[in-house]
Chain A
Amino acid sequence: DTEVTQTPKHLVMGMTNKKSLKCEQHMGHRAMYWYKQKAKKPPELMFVYSYEKLSINESVPSRFSPECPNSSLLNLHLHALQPEDSALYLCASSQDGQLNTEAFFGQGTRLTVV
């Protein structure tokens, strides 16, 4: 099983809403990532969790709040987003944070902020 599962696939939210994106993997990977991808652009790293601890925050605004409840799950809590936050949010995982092996991506959550 080399699958990273993200839910929901699509999300439309208002600027005052609170929502969460979820990501799950059962490959025993100990590093998990959130990326943001705008249309026609490459993915940009947001957060890295390694062994359930936040190891990298790429200066992401506090309206995005990551959480790693256990080694298989990664959440991204959203609050007071702006329309420019609309994008494809991709979760990825790898065996460890050294990226010495493959990094697998999920299918993404297409987020629209209205």
Chain B
Amino acid sequence: GEDVEQSLFLSVREGDSSVINCTYTDSSSTYLYWYKQEPGAGLQLLTYIFSNMDMKQDQRLTVLLNKKDKHLSLRIADTQTGDSAIYFCAENLGYSTLTFGKGTMLLVSP
């Protein structure tokens, strides 16, 4: 496909793990990013992974990259209500261009 694909909605309970999935378009993308956007706010860079890595861990966040399937995932451990937001994956398609997925809305219930 030509678009960066994400599931649109995920609902979890507080304390559970959340896994947000993304399928990107270009196997030559060098960097892949995860951004968080709270209502009415800008985009907060959560983490990024270089394409020669399989996994990156940063506190509660784990990014897994499957280059063969062009699949990227973001796992949030011990999800909190403050994690409720829209999560965008993005790929670097080349010079200066970030292409975003449509975003996954994560809803965390107490």
Minimum CB distance partner of A106 in chain B = B42
Whether the Cβ atoms of A42 and B97 lie closer than 8 Å is no
Known contacts A42-B88, A90-B42, A104-B45, A97 near B95 by CB under 8 Å: yes
Whether the Cβ atoms of A42 and B31 lie closer than 8 Å is no
Separation in Å of the B86 CB from the closest CB of chain A?
Answer: 9
Q: How far is the CA of A33 from the CA of B100 in the complex (A)?
A: 14
What is the size, in residues, of chain B's interface with A at 8 Å between Cβ atoms? 21
The answer to whether A107 has its CB under 8 Å from any CB of chain B is: yes
The answer to whether B92 has its CB under 8 Å from any CB of chain A is: yes
Among B33-41, B61-69, B74-82, the stretch in contact with A: B33-41
Separation in Å of the A25 CB from the closest CB of chain B?
Answer: 13
What is the size, in residues, of chain A's interface with B at 8 Å between Cβ atoms? 29
Whether the Cβ atoms of A105 and B96 lie closer than 8 Å is no
Q: How far is the CA of A37 from the CA of B24 in the complex (A)?
A: 20
Minimum CB distance partner of A47 in chain B = B96
- List, in ascending order, chain B residues with CB within 8 A of A103's CB: 33, 45, 98
Interface string of A48-77 (1 = CB under 8 A from B): 101000011000000000000000000000
Residues from 59 to 114 in A contacting B, C-beta threshold 8 Å: 88, 90, 92, 97-108, 110
Whether the Cβ atoms of A56 and B96 lie closer than 8 Å is yes
Whether the Cβ atoms of B31 and A99 lie closer than 8 Å is yes
Separation in Å of the B21 CB from the closest CB of chain A?
Answer: 16
Interface residues of B (CB under 8 A from A): 30-31, 33, 35, 40-45, 48, 88, 92, 95-98, 100-103
A-B contact pairs, 14 of them (CB 8 A): A4-B42, A33-B96, A42-B101, A42-B103, A55-B95, A56-B96, A88-B42, A90-B43, A97-B96, A99-B95, A100-B31, A100-B92, A101-B31, A102-B48
16 new A-B contacts, CB < 8 A, other than A42-B102, A99-B30, A105-B43, are A4-B42, A33-B96, A42-B88, A42-B103, A56-B95, A56-B96, A90-B42, A97-B96, A98-B95, A100-B30, A100-B92, A102-B48, A103-B45, A105-B45, A107-B42, A110-B40
